[in-house]
Amino acid sequence: MDEQQSIYFDFLKGETLLIDKPLEWTSFDVVNKIRSMIKYKMKINKIKVGHAGTLDPMATGLLIICTGKTTKKIELFQELEKEYTGTFVLGATTPSFDMETATDREFSVDHITENLIREATEQFTGNIEQIPPIYSALQIKGERAYNLARDKKKVELKSRLVSIHAFDIIRTNLREVDFRIVCSKGTYIRALARDFGQALGTGAYLNKLRRTRIGKFTVAEALVIEQFEQILDYFLKNKS
């Protein structure tokens, strides 16, 4: 813990925390956990805590958490370029475009080759139009789209312009395609899985997703929740 000797927190003035979001946690789960720890351990009755860019429950990786006056910088952080790694599964689709829902259709992958997969990425680089997933937190007349989708109500979302700066294929193994994507704010990797599968004529869904970078901030610098709690306890124990 020697490198922590100089740790100092001022959550009301504002801190920027890099957290590695656990699988199956929502981004708001992380915010609520951090806020609860700060309020309970620091004896602070009221404090602002927010995140700078949602990660889906089935995704892991970098989440920027802002506290106190630093929450005013959230919009600036949201504008930064994002980097993701993950896996698409070819030959099937799900309603949510990821593992949150069960597969609803299956397709042949007999015609798929590695060259075909790599060529398909060229359709999804640069500025592209993308329709967000219906299982998303976007609001439609005051209601979250995912609530409407789960209630089997009709959901229509308009396409939006997003930018894919890099779309690299890391590995292919039968139906699995590992990728690295660098993109702009507002890009849905789940929607890219849908569109990528359609381009290949196989269908596809997102099996794994990890956010590895936001602007200059990397997941290698991030703390898991338990590490943040340990450092916070250490700070409280050793502050003068």
Helix (H, G, I), strand (E, B) or coil at 139: strand
Both tokens of residue 34? 């951090």
Helices 225-238/27-42 angle, 10° precision = 10
Q: Is the pLDDT of residue 223 over 70?
A: yes
State how far the Cα of 42 lies from the Cα of 152, in Å rounded to an integer.
44
pLDDT in tens, 8-57: 789 999 999 999 999 999 999 999 999 999 999 999 999 999 999 999 89
* Residues annotated as catalytic (active site), given as ranges: 56
CA distances to 17, 26, 125 from 4, rounded to whole Å, are: 15, 29, 42
The full set of domains in the chain, from first to last, is 2-79+216-238 (3.30.70), 82-213 (3.30.2350.10)
pLDDT in tens, 130-158: 998 887 777 676 777 777 667 677 777 78
CA distances to 3, 98, 130, 146, 226 from 133, rounded to whole Å, are: 43, 10, 9, 9, 32
| Predicted TM-score of the model (pTM) | 0.91
CA distances to 28, 148, 212, 218 from 99, rounded to whole Å, are: 20, 19, 20, 25
Helix (H, G, I), strand (E, B) or coil at 226: helix
Among 19-28, 83-92, 202-211, 229-238, the range scoring the smallest mean pLDDT is: 229-238
